[in-house]
């Protein structure tokens, strides 16, 4: 197989492989590295590939699965703050980052290409679900994604994992049980009602209108902010913390829209003393029935780099 033939047959799978590796690892940067490793191993093994035994897609996923499982050996899971303990009830708790925790990262929708091509799989990218997946043993994680999302047959997955169909079915059953509370539909960022809710939230935040912002929250809205291991539950505590943010960082914020994990998101820019605005956080929203139910606020330079966000707004 020539390099031209190899690239023509494998490149079309790169974005799907990135999404797969991301679901497995919970890190954009690690996923990108593992896709590169997958392609390198495929290139080295190209002369042993037999198209009579497996499609190129199946062959690549077997390699990617082995690469991911090897990468996960001995690694800590990637959590969100809500996965580490009870919510805080004190909005004045010191904001001390925990850099020793390998936090879950969001994945830019832009990395996945045309939204229409992966819209049917968007629910499997939700931050809350990817976080829950990190609690599964790696092989269960692989089985669930390969079977439920990528729709490989049990026999194909058994071949990819060098195991039996019975073992695959058993692992899938356990994975489904482990994810039962996290599965669900995500409101699409291009849905007009969702867009209207997020735009209203942005207007309220930019105006420092906490009362208007509260009206856009569900009663049990969650707010969490890795790498700070804090999270808040409920409208009142959410609002109290936002008031603290405006007290600490001032008013006159600016926000620009983006999308992550198939969910609406914004880049938030705090006011600078010189009159400009400097990148502060990336905020990813879960919208339920016209209300913000969950906001994950990322303040990590690695996340900013993955989204190609400008540091300063003119």
CA pair distance 225, 223, nearest whole angstrom: 7
CATH of 83-129+186-314, picked from 3.40.718.10, 3.30.930.10, 3.40.50.720, 3.10.450.50, is: 3.10.450.50
Domain ranges for the chain, please list them.
83-129+186-314
Q: Name the nearest CA neighbour of 220 among 289, 290, 294.
A: 294
What is the per-residue pLDDT for 88?
93
pLDDT of residue 122: 72
Look at residue 132 in the predicted model and tell me its pLDDT: 93
Question: What pLDDT is recorded for position 196?
Answer: 95
The pLDDT assigned to 1 comes to: 64
> What pLDDT does 185 receive?
61
Intervals of the chain under pLDDT 50: none
Beta-sheet strands, E only, within the chain: 217-225, 228-233, 254-260, 263-271, 277-288, 291-298, 312-313
CB 20 within 8 A of CB 64: yes
pTM of the model as a whole: 0.91
Q: pLDDT value at position 116?
A: 58
Cβ–Cβ under 8 Å, residues 5 and 34? no
C-alpha triplet 274, 280, 285: angle, nearest 5°? 140
Q: Residue 73: is the preceding peptide bond cis (ω within 30°)?
A: no
Look at residue 123 in the predicted model and tell me its pLDDT.
Answer: 77
């Amino acid at each position: 197989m020539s390099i031209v033939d190899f690239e023509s047959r494998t490149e079309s799978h790169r974005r799907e492989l990135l999404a797969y590796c991301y679901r497995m690892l919970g890190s954009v940067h690690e996923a990108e590295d593992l896709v590169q490793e997958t392609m390198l191993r495929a290139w080295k093994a190209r002369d042993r590939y037999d198209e009579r035994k497996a499609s190129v897609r199946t062959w690549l996923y077997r390699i990617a699965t082995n690469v991911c499982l090897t990468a996960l050996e001995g690694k800590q899971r990637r959590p969100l703050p809500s996965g580490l303990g009870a919510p805080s009830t004190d909005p004045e708790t010191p904001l001390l980052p925990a850099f020793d925790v390998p936090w879950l990262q969001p994945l830019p929708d832009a990395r996945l290409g045309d939204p229409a091509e992966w819209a049917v799989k968007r629910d499997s990218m939700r931050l809350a679900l990817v976080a829950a997946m990190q609690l599964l043993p790696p092989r269960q994680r692989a089985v669930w994604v390969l079977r439920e999302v990528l729709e490989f047959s049990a026999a194909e997955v058994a071949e990819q994992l060098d195991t039996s169909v019975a073992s695959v079915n058993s692992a899938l059953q356990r994975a489904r049980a482990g994810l039962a509370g996290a599965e669900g539909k995500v409101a699409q960022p291009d849905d007009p009602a969702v867009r209207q809710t997020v735009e209203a939230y942005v207007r309220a935040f930019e105006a420092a209108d906490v009362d208007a912002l509260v009206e856009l929250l569900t009663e049990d809205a969650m707010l969490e902010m890795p790498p700070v291991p804090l999270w808040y539950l409920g409208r009142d505590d959410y609002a109290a913390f936002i008031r603290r943010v405006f007290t600490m960082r001032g008013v006159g914020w600016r926000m620009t829209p983006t999308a992550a994990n198939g969910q609406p998101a914004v880049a938030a820019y705090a006011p600078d003393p010189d009159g400009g605005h400097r990148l502060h956080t990336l905020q990813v929203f879960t919208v339920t029935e016209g209300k913000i139910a969950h906001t994950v606020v990322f303040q990590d330079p690695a996340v900013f780099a993955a989204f190609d966000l400008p540091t300063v707004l003119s």
